[in-house]
A and B are shown apart, each in its own frame.
Chain A
Amino acid sequence: MRRLVLLLLAPLLLAADFAPVKPGVPFRFPADHGAHPAFRTEWWYVTGWVQPKSGASAQAAGIQITFFRTRLPRAKPNRSRFATEQVIFAHAAIADPATGRLRHATRIARSGFGLAQARVGDMDVAVDDWRLWRGADGRLHGHVVVDGQRLDLAFTPRQPIILQGRAGYSQKGPNPSEASHYYSWPQLATSGTLAGKPVIGTAWLDREWSSTLLNPRAVGWDWLGINLDDGGALTLFRVRDTNGRALWAGGSHRDRAGKTQIFQPQDVDWQAAGWWKSPRSGARWPVRPIVRYRLGSQWQALEIKPLMPDQELDSRSGGGPLYWEGAVTVPGGRGYLELTGYSAPLRM
């Protein structure tokens, strides 16, 4: 879901004057937790696993909360209070094996009137009754409503932030301009309530802001973020062309001691596998991809297992794509997998 709004609004943005993504820009916190309105788009992407506080891990469910800020430039000056340039879009999904499929909801609004905004200076982004913010105690808080079920969670950081790519400059394609500013915050201790019931778990925050479109030859991408049980964190992604080959790939690995390795494209090998066919859309998804990465000089293989096969999301009625985004496990870790561009190429 992460780049959906970018896609959704992409044709509108071609001639705009956006801040460029450049390497060597130092990160400053808490300011970089907040919005970067000069860039075309950015997102606050929280994924995680939660389970009943007093229950077994077998009852674990996946949660995903994403807020997007997208800047739609205006060609002419306009004095109306409705003439903002920013759109806030939010998406949340609950992957509960008891349901067998995702429950999800969205919110979208132009910023303004106190109904939708992304704060500059620190994390506080809201649209209607949904909000994601950083409290004075340094904890992150998320509040969303999905299918009438309130989701109130607090995320307590236990580790420092990972700057992805080159000190936070993360290339997404062969062209150096195809890049984003990207940091991740893994191993967030999670507690709160889901539909009134106390839950605990572990979550992951991804933050990216960018002004650049994907490579024109890209048809989709795959992304994986895993909180390893030993306290480590693994990020992998690739951008695919029409033949299903990687146009670009990357990611990082941080072990429990805090030693971080950034992956170059040649360090990631991602093969689509474990095809599942959606009975609703007829689309086929490689929900158990075979993924390898080179840690040091050693290739590591990952066996990915989805919480359930049906974690397909259809946003086509609202102009968005059909995609798969779901909770997955690997031996010794849990996280989220995102698959896009498998039913139809994502048009840019």
Chain B
Amino acid sequence: MAALAPVATGWLLAGEWRAQPVRMAIAVLAIAVGVALGFAVHLVNSAALGSFGRAMASVQGRADLSVRAVAATGMDEALYPRLARLPGIAAASPVVEVPASWGELARPGAPAKTGGRFTLLGTDFLRAMQVTPGLIGVSAAGLSGVGTGNGWLEGRIWLSPALMAACRCRAGQNFRFTAAGRGHDPVVAGTLAASGQDARLAVIDIAEAQDRLGQFGRVQRIDLKLAEGADPAAITARIARALPADALVATPDGEASRADALSRAYRVNLGMLALVALLTGGFLVWSAQSLSVARRRPQFALLAVLGLSRRGLVGQLLVEGLVLGVAGAGLGLALGYGLADLAVTRLGGDLGGGYFNGAQARLAFPPLAAAGFAGLGLATALAGSLVPALAAARVPPALALKGLGDGIDPGRRPAAWPGLALIAAGTGLAMAPPVAGLPILAYAGMALLLAGGVALMPALARALLAPLARAGSRWLPLDLAIRRLWGAPQAASLALSGIVASTALMVAMAVMVASFRQSVDDWLVAVLPSDLYLHLEAAEAGGISPDAQARLMAVPGIAQVRMQRVMSIRLAPGQPAVALMAQGGHAAVPLLQRAGGPAPAGTTPVLISEPMAWLYGWQVGDRSTLAIAGRPRPVFVAGVWRDYARQFGAIILPLADYRRLTGDLTMTDAAFDLAPGAQPHAVQQALAAALPAAVRGQAQFGRPGEMRRIALQIFDRSFAVTYALEAIAILIGLIGVATSFSAQVLARMREFGMLRHIGVARGQVLAMLALEGAGLGLVGAAAGIALGLGLAIVLVMVVNPQSFHWTMDLALPWPLLAGLAAALIACAAGTAVLAGRRALGQGPLLAVRADW
């Protein structure tokens, strides 16, 4: 028999594939989709992160170490000679780094306009040459930026290739741009050849940057070159001791982790969704293999009688699973790569998440990751095959040979405890704290909940049907259907496992997205109380001057103006920046918590956003310090507000305090309340005309309704991938239910023959099947939705706060849930009837004798 085994294996495999091509294809597809999604998400993310990292490295100029100002307003330039003289520092290069823009900027979500954003650097080229040679330009004639053209680069600018292409500039032409609220019009001297294709970057002389852009005495960054053989850790510590409160040491590693942190939660969550899709695939494999095993039991029994050992049988089924897995994984990798390519070209490297502005992602094929995802697909397929294989091996051949012993004994109660245990464990894990800032355990909990829910299906189906079965029905088809479902819950759960899993996942995602969207919508209404808003893009380094502000306020039709100065500050190295918002007037934010009393004397009251509170552990009523204008200032946390716009935290402080502490009187944002009867459009035009010419291209006006619409559009776009995943999951689930159900119906041909034989009409059998299908669909939908709601609660209450550090209110999309349930029931019933028609096509006599 040993010699026969491979032959038998091949024969069985080929026979099964010939007999059930659709079901096998569905199983392969299910695995493929899981692998594809996981691989695609990984590819896109690593491409985006790689390109973002390269862009960041270009802007950094690849210095050994940098000291950075915590805020865009920079730090005192006097730090430069102090750092330059520290032992272990070979050279120090001071840099003015300000966000800048050219042309007219498009508002978020709107089609691209003629302009764009870039990073403007002011360097001392003699120092940059030693520390960051990548930031030295090359003229059109190929000469180094040092010693060519104008000695101090007065009126000269060097552009990175990416910026050169984006602004369609050429050497020798003037390049008009705006930075720190001022316009400048230097001549393009050449390119920053070493800065690569990823960063939009321009370099001018540092003295020119300070003078033309009003950055006197300030630098944003000091790049350092370490002496040969110096110990970076020791030097970093020494530098850190020498730094004022508004500066911090940024190591290349720290910068990389900052880039990583920027989108990590988003990436991990997408990856988890892909793995969940793979899990659904696993259930489908299980379902397909179980059915196939049940159907082939006599074949296996025959082989066993002929001498195939139980172990041989298990091996046989595992080989089948392996073939499914290999096919699925291979298809999945190809599909994933195609999907990633499409996503990168259509949605951009951040899949619409908005994390990496302007960075152009390039796709690579990482063999290690490919092997990893293929392995996951294989493992899933094998695991899905192992359970039915072991079950099949347990059945005595003699029973199976007679077509009996299909494992369904109505007298035996399906055990509920494994499912309940899994659900209990899952619930426990779901409430666990985050690991490394990520909801890993919560996701593991969700997987256990899912598995538990599926495992509980037979017991649940019986429990739900028990009252009906006891009561019976006078209508024969209903009575038969109920008794069948009640008596063979394992069979029902086989058909249902895939659909329950995918329904649960879909419901979970839908509820989470609906909750999030509703909360964001409510929040938008709360944060946009005024009639007209003005925002300056790329104006962190300085916006509208006080006299221009006065001109804006003098525009007729305005009842009240709330001005704001927004900038980002870095509170910790390796962490993304926090938004510092100095707001005039009464802060218009939805407060979640509020301090009992007023701020203690000598402190500045601040309102912190929810992510801020989470990330930095600040609580209402706390006193803390904030480095403003070079010194740590005592602040008092007067409240926590809900914020969905700034994932890495935001701090609101009174504009008057900010101006007193910093002397910075500019503003970057303003909210206008209009006088009664004033026309918003006319006022907007008057305001635009009153703006200084330099910032007109950066200015974006918005009205609340329109801003809300755009925000929700962006929201929907960023969840586009989620919606796609949902649709794919539900589609696979539905196909799965259709194939497994029709297989089961065909397998019961002999039963239908018997029913017809004892006088049940054909229509009655069909009605019975429709009712059975509808019942299964109902049970599946009910279980799937219940399980999905449980998973949604984990997503909303645990995964989101742990990933993005904001909370939301649960909102249930009832129409969607009802529609889903109806679709499931209709699909199950329809499939059952269609398959039944085929099964009943033969005469009853033939059916009874059916010997498949």
A binds B: yes
In the bound complex, how far is the Cα of B151 from the Cα of A13, in angstroms?
A: 8
Q: Which residue of B lies closest to A106 (CB)?
A: B130
Quick check: is A108 within 8 A (CB to CB) of the other chain? yes
One of B77, B126, B143, B217 near A108 (C-beta < 8 A): B126
Name the interface residues of B4-30: CB closer than 8 Å to any CB of A.
Answer: none
Interface bits A74-94 vs B (CB < 8 Å: 1, else 0): 111011111110010000000
| CB closest chain-A residue, reference B228 | A148
Report whether A79 and B151 are in contact in the complex, using a CB–CB cutoff of 8 Å. no
Q: How long is the Cα–Cα vector from A11 to B210 in the complex, in angstroms?
A: 25
Q: Which chain A residues (136-165) contact chain B, with CB distance < 8 Å?
A: 148
A78 adjacent to B126 (CB under 8 Å): no
**Contact B216 A12, beta carbon cutoff 8 Å:** no
Complex Cα spacing A83 to B148, Å: 18
A83 and B84 in contact (CB under 8 A), knowing A76-B154, A318-B146?
Answer: no
Supposing A87-B126, A108-B126 touch, asked if A113 and B81 sit within 8 A by C-beta, the answer is yes
Report the contact-size class of chain B (Cβ under 8 Å from the partner): 20 to 34
Which 5 interchain pairs have the tightest Cβ spacing?
A12-B151, A83-B207, A72-B151, A80-B210, A82-B207
Judge whether A109 is part of the interface by a CB distance below 8 angstroms: yes
Q: Are B147 and A9 in contact (CB under 8 A)?
A: yes
- CB-CB < 8 A to B94: which residues of A? 82
Q: Assess whether B55 is interfacial by the CB under 8 Å rule.
A: no
Interface string of A6-23 (1 = CB under 8 A from B): 001101110000000000
- The chain A residue with its CB closest to the CB of B144 is A319
A114 located at the interface, meaning its Cβ lies under 8 Å from any Cβ of chain B in the complex: yes
Which residue in A80, A115, A319 is a CB contact (below 8 Å) of B81?
A115
Tell me the minimal C-beta distance from A138 to chain B in angstroms: 29
* Residues A78 and B211 in contact in the complex (CB < 8 Å), given A87-B126, A114-B81: yes
Q: Answer yes or no: A110 CB below 8 A from chain B CBs.
A: yes
Q: Is B338 an interface residue (CB 8 A)?
A: no
B142-165 Cβ-contact flags toward A at 8 Å (1 or 0): 011011111110110000000000
Q: Is the CB of A78 within 8 A of B207?
A: yes
A80 touches B144 (CB 8 A): no
> CB within 8 A of A78: which of B127, B147, B208, B228?
B208
Q: Does A128 contact B (CB under 8 A)?
A: yes
6 additional contacts (CB under 8 A) given A83-B207, A87-B126, A109-B127? A8-B146, A11-B147, A12-B150, A79-B210, A82-B94, A82-B205
Of the residues A83, A84, A108, A113, contact of B211 by C-beta under 8 Å: A83
1/0 per residue, CB under 8 A from A, across B64-95: the answer is: 00000000000001001100110000010010
**Residues on A with beta carbons closer than 8 Å to the beta carbon of B126:** 87, 108-110
In the bound assembly, the distance between CA atoms of A148 and B227 in angstroms comes to 10
Please provide the chain A residues from 96 to 128 with a CB less than 8 Å away from any CB of chain B in the complex: 108-110, 113-115, 128
Contact A81/B77 with A8-B147, A72-B151 known, Cβ cut-off 8 Å: yes
Q: In whole Å, how far is A305's beta carbon from the nearest beta carbon of chain B?
A: 35
- The minimal Cβ–Cβ distance linking B777 to chain A, given in whole angstroms, is 75
- Chain A residues with CB under 8 Å of B228's CB are 148
**Cα–Cα distance between A108 and B126 once the two chains are bound (Å):** 7
Tell me whether B124 is interfacial, beta carbon within 8 Å.
yes
A81 near B151 with CB under 8 A, answer no
**Which residue on chain A has the smallest CB distance to residue B154?**
A75
- Residues of chain A from 286 to 332 with CB closer than 8 A to chain B in the complex: 318-319
If A113-B80, A128-B84 touch, whether A79 touches B216 (CB-CB below 8 Å) is yes
Q: Does B326 make an interface contact (CB < 8 A)?
A: no
Contact of A319 among B147, B151, B205 (CB under 8 A): B147
A205-238 Cβ-contact flags toward B at 8 Å (1 or 0): 0000000000000000000000000000000000
Q: Which residue of A lies closest to B208 (CB)?
A: A78
* Docked complex Cα distance between A8 and B206 (Å): 21
- Residue-wise, chain A 159-177 has the 8 Å CB interface mask toward B (1 for contact) of 0000000000000000000
27 contacting pairs across A/B (C-beta < 8 A): A8-B146, A11-B148, A12-B150, A12-B151, A74-B152, A76-B155, A78-B208, A78-B211, A79-B216, A80-B206, A80-B210, A80-B216, A81-B217, A82-B206, A82-B207, A82-B210, A87-B126, A110-B126, A113-B80, A113-B81, A115-B84, A128-B91, A148-B228, A318-B146, A319-B143, A319-B144, A319-B147
Contacts of A8 in B (CB 8 A): 146-147
Chain B neighbourhood of A110, CB < 8 A: 124, 126
- A: which residues have CB within 8 A of B? 8-9, 11-13, 72-76, 78-84, 87, 108-110, 113-115, 128, 148, 318-319
Taking CB atoms, residues of chain A closer than 8 Å to B210 are 79-83
Within the complex, what minimum Cβ distance (angstroms) separates B835 from chain A? 79
Instruction: Give chain B residues whose Cβ lies under 8 Å from the Cβ of A84.
Output: 207
Most chain B CB atoms below 10 A, which of A8, A78, A87: A78
Chain A positions within 8 Å of B144 at CB level: 319
Minimum Cβ distance to chain B for residue A90 (Å)? 12
Which B residues lie within 8 Å of A148 (CB)? Answer: 228
CB distance from B143 to the nearest CB of A (A): 8
Give the distance to chain B from A262, nearest Cβ to Cβ, in Å: 35
Residue of B84, B91, B151, B211 touching A80 (CB-CB under 8 A): B211
Residues of B within 8 A of A319 (CB): 143-144, 146-148
- In the complex, chain B residues 220-264 whose Cβ is within 8 Å of any chain A Cβ: 228
Docked pose: A318 CA to B152 CA in angstroms: 16
Which residue on chain B has the smallest CB distance to residue A73?
Answer: B151
Smallest beta-carbon distance A125→chain B, Å: 16
Query: Quick one: which of B124, B143, B147 contacts A82, CB cutoff 8 A?
Result: B124
* Cα distance A11–B77 in the bound complex, in angstroms: 31
In the bound complex, residues from chain A placing their C-beta under 8 Å from that of B152 are: 72, 74, 83
In the assembled complex, the CB of B125 is this many whole angstroms from the nearest CB of chain A, namely 9
Nearest-Cβ distance from residue A87 to partner chain B, whole angstroms: 7
Return B583 CB to nearest CB of chain A, in Å: 32
A22 to chain B, nearest CB (A): 25
B81 partner residues in chain A, CB cutoff 8 A? 113-115
Binary contact track B259-303/A, C-beta < 8 Å → 1, others 0: 000000000000000000000000000000000000000000000
Distance A74 CA – B156 CA, assembled complex (angstroms)? 13
**Which of A11, A78, A82, A109 has the most chain B CB within a 10 Å cutoff?**
A82
| Interfacial chain B residues near A128, Cβ < 8 Å | 84, 91
Q: Mark B193-208, 1 if CB is under 8 A from A, else 0.
A: 0000000000001111
In the complex, the answer to whether A12 meets B77 with C-beta atoms within 8 Å is no
Provide the bound-state CA to CA distance between A108 and B130, in Å: 9
**CA–CA, A268 and B154, complex, Å:** 44
B80 / chain A contacts, CB cutoff of 8 Å: 113
Q: How far is the CA of A80 from the CA of B216 in the complex (A)?
A: 6
Closest to A114 in B: B81
Q: How far is the CA of A292 from the CA of B228 in the complex (A)?
A: 47
Closest to A84 in B: B207
B-side contacts of A82, CB under 8 Å: 77, 94, 124, 205-207, 210
Taking the nearest CB of chain A, how far is it from the CB of B209, in angstroms? 8
Chain A minimum-CB-distance residue to B212: A78
Residues of B within 8 A of A87 (CB): 126
Q: Which of B144, B151, B211 has the most CB of A within 10 A?
A: B151
- The distance in angstroms between the C-alpha atoms of A8 and B94, with both chains bound, is 23
Roughly how many angstroms separate A82 CA and B122 CA in the complex, as a whole number?
11
B743 smallest CB distance to A (angstroms): 75
- A157 CB → nearest B CB, Å: 31
Q: Across the interface, which residues of B come within 8 angstroms of A11, CB to CB?
A: 147-149
A200–B292 Cα distance when bound, in Å, is: 98
The residue on B at minimum CB distance from A128 is B84
Set of chain B residues within 8 Å of A109, measured between Cβ atoms: 124, 126-127
A127 to chain B, nearest CB (A): 10
Question: Chain A residues with Cβ under 8 A from B91's Cβ?
Answer: 128
